[in-house]
Structure 1
């Protein structure tokens, strides 16, 4: 049995806990929040093992010898210090995206994880949904790729304001680029296998926080676009154009359907629903790595996370979001 502790049992951790309860051979045995009472409230409302322990400090949770793995769901700016502490404590870490704020931070975590022989994986959900393998096959059918557009835009600015959300709180870790743009960057990294060159970025800020980013990039003869927003809604799609056709992936951050149009052939619909939800695949993959004694995922490698963060670094530097 893989025994999980949740470090920072907030809103997204509720979805994780419910999905974890559907993964065979894994269970939630502990959670930590700013107070023990709040951690107790979380465990009382979500599926967990009998006798699951509530901690009012993250240090206490990491000191629990009965915890095998950590789901790290603290605000973005807190990922680095707590990932390092969890790895030093010998706990495998499944870390919410973006794993780290910068490529340098991600390299530091990767170095420690490799040195200690501890599993660390960024929770990049699109790589673990049932549709993913079919999408990789479809990409192979496109021929030479000339254009990639990854867009994740949501009209949520009004609903986020006044909530105290760290997404709109000035400081490290805030803004749409890190929260939504990371999905787009991860797709670009997976398709290209390396970091493209940045050409131009448009950005809209509200109270000094990025709420819209439109980055244009290139890699050889391939043009790329990375777009993300809190202030507008557009189709949340990955579009890849090749010499033999076009692939459009719907809801690129939680994909279940895509359309493949190859020149001279009837368009093809590709649909593969979740087995449970969008968390289930990444949790099951992570636990299987633990059972096999692996310290790195072949689907979301440490280098993948470093390269994704490096692309976001380039964009942030160009619009002074450091």
Structure 2
């Protein structure tokens, strides 16, 4: 399996996910922005906005290549002269605070010295945490993982708990999910099997999201709940700009800024020293996110 085939399959995955998300939203349609990278490659960024479900969302495909810059060697600790990277990245911000933010990405990276790996993950960021809904989400992820290796879910769930955290807040970003990086033959699966795992996760994404969205999209919303949603979006921004590896890789590799930052919400808020009542739903959510949880 060569890198060109992987890139083609990831592009097809992007289109599949967009078609399903248009069905799930029911009103909004994706628009596409094609872009080129001066050093080599480019991508297709597809965005959706002001739908019946999705206020702002993006499904980005990229396929970039070229010399490994000194900045990439230093910041990303790469040992090679040329690289190739391709992947699909998704973030959806709903317009109802009772529907969670969701993120997913799958990616492939290759160096000219023969080193390659797959990475990716999916996580859920509810504005209001409901434990039973988090369990449903994790069950779906375990089902996908178990098709390939029954040890994957536990490993990748722990990895996600560590990765999707906001250390300066002493909180998790949400209810976690799975995260993996540098997957290669050391994980007992060959290159094609690892690729199929990434595709399977991607193809499962819209149906996992639909299940979560249907649990909250028709709930009534108050002005206070909308403001709380914007506070929670602020936490999301903090993580993506300070800690997210994908954001850092995109910026350090000379990627397209607009596509890299499509994950940011349309509106977010910060209030100095904001502390909700600990017995309120907002306070309970913050308490929940400061603790470690086992879902399965």
Give TM-score, length-normalised by structure 1. 0.27
State which structure, 1 or 2, has the greater radius of gyration over its C-alpha atoms: 1
Give TM-score, length-normalised by structure 2. 0.28
Structure of greater relative contact order (alpha carbons < 8 Å, 6+ residues apart): 1
